[in-house]
C-alpha cells in the first residue's frame, strides 16, 4: 500500500469571495464559494505538480465540510485523515482584493468558531504519519488548543521517524491574544524544522529586524537546510548552510495574490524532490550526480532513486537557485488568476510559463 506522500497539517476552509474581482465585500451583491485554506491549497498544488499529498485536519459535519472533502478528493488529495466533527462547524473566511493594482487580498475569518481548531493529538495516526515523504505545517494551528498540541505532537512523531519537516510561517495576528504570544508560539517549531518559508513581513515580526540578511541570521538554526523569504513581485531570498542568494520575480499582470505563498511552497518542495536523486545516467551514457544533471540539462534514461528531500544537495547553490526560480514562477503564474484552487497551476502550465518568459532552462 502506498504511503501518504507529503502530509500537510492545517486548515481546510471555505473562502467566500465577491463574484467580481473589482468589488469588495461592502458593495458585492453576489458572492462565490471557493475551497481554500493554507494546508488545502498546498496539498492541491502538490497534486497539480504531480506529487502525492495528504491533508491532516478537521472539518465540520456540515455541507461545507462535505464540499471540502469532495473537492480535495476530486483534486487527487488523500482525505482519509481529514476528520469530521460535530463540535464545531467548518471554517469560513471572507477574502477580497483590497488593491486591484497589486492583487493584495483582505481577509475576515470566522475561524474562532471553526472545526480545524479542535484537531486533537488523539486524532493523529503515528503509524500513518511515519510513512510520509515529508511533513508540512503552518503556524496558524499553533494559536489555539488543542490544535497547537497536535502540531507539536505531529512534529515530534515526524522528527523521531527522520521525516523532513517543512514550516510555513503564516502570520495572522488576530488569531493570537498578543504579539508576544504569537512570536513565542511560532518560534518553538523552528528547532525541529528542515525547510522554513516566510515572507519579509513575517521575518521582521519574528526577529525585530527590518534588514533582511540580519533578520535571517538572527532566525537561523543549525538544523535548517533551507530558509526562504518571499519578496512579493521582487522574487525571493534563500539561505542554506553554505550560501545565500536572491532570485528575481516574474513580471505578470496580477489578478489576486490569494494562495500564491502556498503554491510557492508546493513548487519549492516539488522541485527539491525532482532533483533529489543519485547516480543518474544521462542521455550521453555518463553517470552523473545532481550537480552535473542540473548543469547539462541532460535527459535521464536510467533508473534513479526515489526522490527524497534527504537526497537533495542543499550545498549546491546552483540547484537551490533552480528550485527557487521554479517556485517564483509558480507563485507568479498563480497571481494571474483569481481564487485559490482555480488558480493553482499544473506542471505543464508552469513549463509553458517558464518557456514563454524566456527563462534559461529549468528542470521540471
**Domain boundaries in the chain?**
6-275+312-356
Using the predicted structure, report yes or no on whether residue 293 has a pLDDT greater than 50: no
Using the predicted structure, report yes or no on whether residue 299 has a pLDDT greater than 70: no
Average pLDDT over residues 74-88: 96
Q: What is the pLDDT of residue 194?
A: 98
Summarize pLDDT for 177-206 with one digit per residue, the tens. 999 999 999 999 999 999 999 999 999 999
CA 101 to chain centre: 24
Q: What is the pLDDT of residue 288?
A: 33
For 159, other C-beta atoms within 10 Å of its C-beta total 17
Using the predicted structure, report yes or no on whether residue 302 has a pLDDT greater than 60: no
Q: What is the pLDDT of residue 4?
A: 96
17-31, 162-176, 228-242, 317-331: segment of lowest average pLDDT: 17-31
Q: CA 36 to CA 17: how far, in whole Å?
A: 11
Residue 289 is placed in which grid cell?
Answer: 550526480
Summarize pLDDT for 8-26 with one digit per residue, the tens. 999 999 988 887 777 777 7
Q: What is the pLDDT of residue 16?
A: 86
Summarize pLDDT for 231-284 with one digit per residue, the tens. 999 999 999 999 999 999 999 998 888 889 999 999 999 999 999 864 333 333
Answer whether CATH 3.40.1190.20 is correct for domain 6-275+312-356: yes
Residue 360's pLDDT band, with cuts at 50, 70 and 90, is low
Residue 294's pLDDT band, with cuts at 50, 70 and 90, is very low
Higher pLDDT, 341 or 147: 147
Q: What is the mean pLDDT of the chain?
A: 88
Q: What is the pLDDT of residue 106?
A: 75
What is the arrangement of strands in the sheet containing 104-109, beginning at the earlier edge strand? 31-36, 13-18, 92-99, 104-109
Residue 153's pLDDT band, with cuts at 50, 70 and 90, is very high
**69 contacts 76 by C-beta, under 8 angstroms:** no
Q: What is the pLDDT of residue 11?
A: 95
Instruction: Report helix, strand or coil for 63.
Output: helix
Residue in this structure with the C-alpha cell 496580477, named with its chain if needed: 254
Average pLDDT over residues 285-314: 51
Residue 285's pLDDT band, with cuts at 50, 70 and 90, is very low
Q: What is the pTM of this model?
A: 0.89
Using the predicted structure, report yes or no on whether residue 296 has a pLDDT greater than 70: no
Q: CA 323 to CA 63: how far, in whole Å?
A: 39
Using the predicted structure, report yes or no on whether residue 316 has a pLDDT greater than 60: yes
Gyration radius of the chain over CA positions: 20
Summarize pLDDT for 83-109 with one digit per residue, the tens. 999 999 999 988 777 777 666 777 777
Amino acid at each position: 500500500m502506498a504511503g501518504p506522500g507529503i502530509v500537510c497539517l492545517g486548515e481546510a476552509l471555505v473562502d467566500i469571495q465577491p463574484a467580481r474581482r473589482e468589488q469588495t465585500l461592502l458593495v458585492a451583491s453576489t458572492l462565490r464559494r471557493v475551497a481554500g485554506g493554507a494546508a488545502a491549497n498546498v496539498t492541491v498544488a502538490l497534486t497539480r505538480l504531480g506529487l502525492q499529498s495528504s491533508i491532516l485536519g478537521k472539518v465540520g459535519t456540515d455541507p461545507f465540510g462535505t464540499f471540502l472533502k469532495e473537492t480535495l478528493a476530486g483534486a487527487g488529495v488523500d482525505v482519509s485523515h481529514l476528520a469530521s466533527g460535530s463540535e464545531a462547524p467548518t471554517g469560513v473566511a471572507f477574502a477580497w482584493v483590497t488593491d486591484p493594482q497589486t492583487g493584495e487580498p483582505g481577509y475576515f475569518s470566522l475561524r474562532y468558531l471553526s472545526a480545524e481548531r479542535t484537531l486533537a493529538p488523539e486524532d493523529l495516526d503515528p503509524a500513518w504519519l511515519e510513512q510520509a515523504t515529508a511533513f508540512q505545517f503552518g503556524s496558524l494551528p499553533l494559536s489555539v488548543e488543542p490544535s497547537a498540541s497536535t502540531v507539536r505532537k505531529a512534529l515530534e512523531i515526524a522528527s523521531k521517524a527522520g521525516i523532513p519537516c517543512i514550516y510555513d510561517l503564516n502570520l495572522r495576528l488576530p488569531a493570537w491574544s498578543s504579539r508576544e504570544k504569537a512570536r513565542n508560539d511560532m518560534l518553538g517549531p523552528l528547532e525541529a524544522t528542515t525547510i522554513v518559508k516566510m515572507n519579509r513581513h513575517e521575518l521582521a515580526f519574528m526577529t525585530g529586524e527590518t534588514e533582511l540578511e540580519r533578520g535571517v541570521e538572527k532566525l537561523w538554526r543549525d538544523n535548517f537546510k533551507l530558509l526562504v523569504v518571499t519578496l512579493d513581485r521582487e522574487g525571493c531570498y534563500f539561505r542554506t548552510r553554505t550560501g545565500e542568494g536572491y532570485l528575481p520575480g516574474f513580471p505578470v499582470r496580477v489578478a489576486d495574490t490569494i494562495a500564491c505563498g502556498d503554491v510557492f511552497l508546493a513548487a519549492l518542495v516539488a522541485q527539491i524532490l525532482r532533483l533529489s536523486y543519485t547516480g543518474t545516467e544521462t542521455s550521453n551514457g555518463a553517470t552523473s550526480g545532481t550537480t552535473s544533471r542540473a548543469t547539462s540539462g541532460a535527459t535521464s534514461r536510467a533508473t534513479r532513486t526515489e526522490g527524497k528531500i534527504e537526497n537533495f544537495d542543499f550545498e549546491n547553490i546552483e540547484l537551490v537557485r533552480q528550485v527557487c526560480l521554479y517556485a517564483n514562477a509558480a507563485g507568479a503564474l498563480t497571481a494571474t488568476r483569481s481564487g485559490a484552487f482555480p488558480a493553482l497551476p499544473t506542471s505543464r502550465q508552469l513549463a509553458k510559463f517558464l518557456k514563454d518568459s524566456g527563462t534559461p532552462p529549468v528542470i521540471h
